[in-house]
Amino acid sequence: MYGLNEYARLSDLDLEVAAKLDTGAKTASLSARDIKRFKRNGESWVRFYLAIDAAHSHPIERPLARVSKIKRRAGDYNPDEGKAYTARPVIELDICMGQARRTIEVNLTDRSAFQFPLLIGSEALKHFDALVDPSLKYAAGKPACATKAPTAE
């Protein structure tokens, strides 16, 4: 059982954050800024900075899993641009909530205007076999996972 908000440990980034569990969102999103795609040895990679606080000022580089098309909210749609979606780079991260660790896809976008730097959507919640009770907060406690993450399939 998980609450509306949970602590999440991002093992790959050596970071623990508060996350919002949102069954109405499809994908997971991590707050990032200065997001740049580049090639390394013929492979697609992404470089970004965490958009969390001033303490996270070093660049992070991860292989690019794919590019996701996210529907824009009505207030974000610009008819002059003609696109009803925004393209976001997606990376894979090991995430631990409670005692469960999974490798999930996370898209990168600036969430600094939001309270929670990590949003975990329904696709990732399925991999956690999550039952979410929105009346609870931090029901799973602090992350306490073993060292190896099973891959979400």
Rounded average pLDDT over 96-117: 95
Please write the tens of the pLDDT for every residue from 36-92.
Answer: 999 999 999 999 999 887 667 789 999 999 999 887 665 555 566 666 778 899 999
Structural domain count, the chain: 1
Report pTM.
0.85
Residue 153 lies in a domain: no
- With a CB cutoff of 8 Å and minimum separation 6, the contacts of 61 are 40, 45, 46, 47
CATH code of the domain in which 53 resides: 2.40.70.10
Residue 143 lies in a domain: no
SS3 134: strand
Dihedral through CA 65, CA 69, CA 70, CA 74, nearest 10? 160
Residue 96 lies in a domain: yes
Look up the domain containing 23 and give its range.
2-137
Residue 10 lies in a domain: yes
Residue 123 lies in a domain: yes
